[in-house]
Amino acid sequence: MGMPVRITLYAPDRAAADAAADAAFKRIKELNAILSDYEPDSELSLLSKTSGGGETVPLSPDLWTVLSRAQELSRRSDGAFDVTVGPAVWLWRKARVVRKLPDPAALAEAMKAVGWRKIVLDPQKRAAKLLVPNMRLDLGAIAKGYAADEALAALRRRGVTRALVAAGGDMALGDPPPGKPGWRIAVASLEMAEDDVCGHAWRPQPQGANAQDPPHFIIASRCSLATSGDLFQHVEIDGKRYSHIVDPRTGIGLTDHSLVVVIARDGIAADGLATTVSVLGPRAGLKLIEATAGAEAFVARKLSDKTEWFESKGFRRFREKASSLP
């Protein structure tokens, strides 16, 4: 899934910690072999290869879980979230390397294979049929949250409950550290450089961090948290910045400069919703969040020189007491 995973845990001794962490990393490796669109032999890639062939393909329990939840989110967001966006994403990945916009004809061709209704799921058989040729499913916006949750579950099976699994900006939070009300998570700022985000900003911070830290902190436990936005990956072409998140309705990388943080009951919901809110924008995005049980979100958006902040009604309870909206 193309990102480092960091596990923080509390265990009675080193051997118990190592054994639990090994089990969690093993589970992530297993999921990578199923859900990655980079691995040519992953179950997902093999499914994509059947597209347009009329075949109904039975899915493993993991792929079924992620794909059926992805389709539910596509329906709820009216297609703003769409795992069939792969062929367009692939052209934007190339654009990022050569720093040239995708060729419009190639993009139009790619878009023929994009559209969530081109996946037909059979809940009885737990199988999928991909209706048109050249489809390329991409679970990059939802699989990291699932993998983090599953790694946390693997730790729990080994008796470790006080743990945090961070797959980039997607985190699964278990019970809090001993004697603490929750995990203390630093929220990245819109101005932060990519290296900062990957390097240190998303580590759980020690209590009492100093004034140089990012603008505010979240205190949470027993939930999942995801971050999304153009801050993490983008390309600048002719002075315009395009995100790695693509609007499935146009095939164009988002040009909004924004940061979205979602807290939800599980990682699939948090990860998927964070990407969806990035596409929908703060108003429609927060409406979707408010309609989702157990979900809360914070959105920062920069329009020319002005930065705006938005949050769902219940987000406040996750804010560290000392910090408030800037």
Q: Kindly tell me which residue out of 274, 288, 289, 300 binds Mg ion, with binding defined by CB under 5 A.
A: 274
Nearer to ligand AMP, 204 or 248 (CB): 248
Q: Residue 140 binds which entry of Mg ion, ligand AMP, none, with Cβ cut-offs from 5 to 8 Å by kind?
A: ligand AMP
**Binding partner of 248, given Mg ion, ligand AMP, none, CB within 5-8 angstroms per partner class:** ligand AMP
- Nearest-approach distance from CB 271 to Mg ion, in angstroms: 4
By beta-carbon proximity to ligand AMP, the closer residue of 21 and 245 is 245
Over the window 216 to 255, marking each residue x when it contacts Mg ion by CB under 5 A and - when it does not, the resulting string is ------------x---------------------------
Q: Burial of 235 by CB count in 10 Å (0-12 exposed, 13-18 middle, 19+ buried)?
A: buried
Which stretches of the chain bind ligand AMP, using CB under 6 A? Answer: 81-83, 85, 89, 138, 140-141, 228, 244-246, 248, 271, 274-275, 279
Residue 160 vs 269, nearer CB to Mg ion: 269
Cα angle 72, 283, 239; round to 5: 100
Minimum CB distance to Mg ion smaller for 21 or for 74 = 74
The listed partner (Mg ion, ligand AMP, none) that binds 260, CB under 5 to 8 Å by sort, is none
Stretch that binds Mg ion, among 56-64, 83-91, 122-130, 275-283 (CB under 5 A): 275-283
What are the backbone angles phi and psi of residue 223, rounded to the nearest 5°?
Answer: -160, -175
- Stretch of 46-54, 237-245, 266-274, 285-293 contacting Mg ion, by CB under 5 A: 266-274
Of 51-59, 136-144, 149-157, 231-239, which part binds Mg ion (CB under 5 A)? 136-144
Query: Between residues 1 and 9, which has the closer beta carbon with respect to ligand AMP?
Result: 1
The single residue among 271, 296, 311, 320 that binds Mg ion, judged by CB under 5 A, is 271
**For residue 64, what are the contacts with CB-CB under 8 A and spacing of at least 6?**
126
Question: Which of 273, 274, 288, 280 is closest to 254 using CA atoms?
Answer: 280
Number of residues that bind Mg ion (CB under 5 A): 5
In angstroms, rounded to a whole number, what is the distance separating the alpha carbons of residues 254 and 241? 8
Cβ 245 to Mg ion, closest distance in Å? 8
Helix/strand/coil for 113: coil
End-to-end Cα separation, the chain, in angstroms: 34
Torsion of CA 38, 40, 45, 46, to 10 degrees: -170
Q: Which residues pair with 185 in a beta bridge?
A: 204, 218
According to DSSP, the β-strands at 257-264 and 252-253 are: unpaired
Q: Which is nearer to Mg ion, 1 or 17 (CB)?
A: 1
Which residues, listed in sequence order, are joined to residue 225 by a DSSP beta bridge?
Answer: 171, 263
Shortest distance, position 85 Cβ to ligand AMP, whole Å: 5
CB count in 10 Å sphere of residue 199: 11
| 108 CB neighbour count, 10 Å cutoff | 11
Residue whose CB is less far from ligand AMP, 139 or 152: 139
Structure tokens at 114: 């994009």
Contact pattern from residue 140 through residue 179 relative to Mg ion, giving x for each residue in contact according to CB under 5 A and a dash for the rest: -x--------------------------------------
Q: Using CB atoms, what's the residue nearest to ligand AMP? A: 140
Instruction: Show the tokens assigned to 69.
Output: 């939840």
Q: Is residue 300 helix, strand or coil?
A: strand
Output phi, psi for 321, to 5 deg. -50, -45
**Phi-psi category of residue 294: left, alpha or beta, with phi > 0 → left and psi -120 to 50 → alpha:** left
- With CB cut-offs between 5 and 8 Å by kind, which of ligand AMP, Mg ion, none does residue 83 bind? ligand AMP
